[in-house]
Structure 1
């Protein structure tokens, strides 16, 4: 890859993390690169979120005539800048392009298998895989998703064992999000009586232990490296204190209850999709409770999309006279309530720096 391309991608990743994934700051950086003709360089970055992909495509289309693909060194001055960058008016500082040269950015790599957080995550994954063997055959969506989320915790912790502080935080954040998602699937499972209360409490406690270990590890890194201003607060809120999450769990129960009646016995596809989207709403709300604002925004947006799909399927059921308007009144009220809470939360997040 062209050296300048690598430098610009590295600069953007650094800027993104320094802003704690603030939507407004990330948007400013993307617009700046679009105006300078460099936005195309970010398009194929594998770690782009869905939000970034949408914004990059939008700016690439709007500023397509600005893009420069050849002889980048001749077109752009990458000299160091001692001034604080301002949106749409700064040059890319060389010191930021080589941010990994900062001494405090390097950590010692250890054997991840000896890390207690990894050990707990591995234990959790094994117990969940064993537990899922007893789920009803028709609940392959829950079995698949809870298995994926449990595996993702372990994988993210493995990837986090590297020298870069910010990359460690990013992957720990992903692991925490997956842990909270796993807990959500467990809560759905116990409410549907696929697992016992004791099984739920045992596995949920393991999830909490993983999150606690990762949080404590990040907190210690901040204290040791002295980067409080550059790294996100490692403490995440309890999703069970978030009203939208509790309402979404009720939505799942109501959807399961409604689709269990005789009228739905011949509508297996609708039943599957409605339950899938209702449970997806819960899982995405849970996974949004991690460190970075951009990631939170992305998962809340996925939850909104899942709500819209449930709403659309309800209309299909009405049209085909599978249900009556009265039968879905409570579910529709829940959808409206959850949507309002999520939109308000996202609005408040977009104002944060």
Structure 2
């Protein structure tokens, strides 16, 4: 391998370590590499995660005209100007470092603290949690450590985050309500999974999903009021979130869950419980993270989409193991692969768009 290529790849590894592998800092560095013409070199790295690979491909396309494929040595040896000649010990010789925006003074708007138990959104969230706990008592015992625990956790998070959000600072209220909205959408996903497996009836689903939507609507209206009446001088996000059920990757992820449950009911899986539960966990984690990504803040959306991709990777590994053991057929693997690719493509496209919003 060309020594200069090795140097650039090593520089990137050091930057990644300095940023503690934070994908949000890494993407700023990748954009810097792209602008300087070197990002294509990172495509051959073996130790990058899928999110890094998506960003590298994205910046390779976006800055294709800037990429330097010849005379690398001349490009790297060009002297920096006097202004940038002095570098810190942590700064790379390529003068490519994670980009950190200067912190702007925060405007903190104080709000009157109210009794959260009198807030309608909290009351609805509490009612939802109580109904879900009661409903899950009839679920199959083998779902205790999976669907039951996860839907309990997400429903509990809706109420808890509303309670934490009842404080003096408007910015933190937006943050906590955003998490609550994400948890509500995740709860709705677990309810759809439960309906698909016939753990609940259509009537029970409709009742609980209606409660979920009520909580989201109340929180959204509250945040709109705060933004319009108390948000001057504060950089607050748009309180509105899209309906996750209209998101293409969500619909396909739901189909993926139903197919995985159908496959793992086969007799061949009875002696492979680790693979069985692992496949179910990965598929449901994929859709749960897609749902929870539909909240207010861009970095959180990116992180949950990335977690969904990780779940898909885990599912791929388990499917390959199942094929090698003769538990599933090539045809079954291909069918699941088509669904997985369709989900991955939508997520990858959205992550690239999010990246543009964050660094533009």
Matching of residue 316 in structure 1 with residue 321 in structure 2:
yes
Could you tell me whether the CA contact under 8 Å between 1:106 and 1:165 is conserved in 2?
Answer: yes
Could you tell me whether the CA contact under 8 Å between 1:222 and 1:228 is conserved in 2?
Answer: no
Superposition deviation, residue 330 in structure 1 = 1.1
RMSD value, Cα: 2.5
Equivalent of 2:137, from 126, 130, 133? 133
Aligned positions of 1:204-215 closer than 5 A = 204-215=209-220
Matching of residue 243 in structure 1 with residue 248 in structure 2:
yes
Partner of 1:143: 148
**SS across alignment from 2:235:** coil
Q: Distance in 2 between matches of 1:138 and 1:128?
A: 17
Superposition deviation, residue 327 in structure 1 = 2.0
Superposition deviation, residue 328 in structure 1 = 2.1
C-alpha change, 1:350 and 1:268, in structure 2 (3 Å) is: same
Aligned positions of 1:1-353 closer than 5 A = 23=24, 65=89, 96=105, 99=106, 102=108, 105-140=109-144, 141-227=146-232, 230-353=235-358
TM-score by length of 1: 0.73
Q: Distance in 2 between matches of 1:89 and 1:267?
A: 50
Select the structure of larger CA radius of gyration: 2
Report the count of equivalent residues. 273
Q: Distance in 1 between matches of 2:124 and 2:233?
A: 27
**SS across alignment from 1:138:** helix
Q: Distance in 1 between matches of 2:177 and 2:258?
A: 31
**SS across alignment from 2:180:** helix
Q: Distance in 1 between matches of 2:88 and 2:157?
A: 37
Q: Distance in 1 between matches of 2:101 and 2:195?
A: 54
Partner of 1:71: none
TM-score by length of 2: 0.72
**SS across alignment from 1:352:** helix
Superposition deviation, residue 227 in structure 1 = 3.1
Can you give the 5+ residue segments of structure 2 that lack an aligned partner in the other structure? 1-22, 33-50, 52-86, 92-98
Partner of 1:37: none
C-alpha change, 1:267 and 1:64, in structure 2 (3 Å) is: farther
**SS across alignment from 2:141:** coil
Superposition deviation, residue 119 in structure 1 = 0.3
Can you give the 5+ residue segments of structure 1 that lack an aligned partner in the other structure? 1-21, 32-50, 52-62, 68-86
**SS across alignment from 1:221:** helix
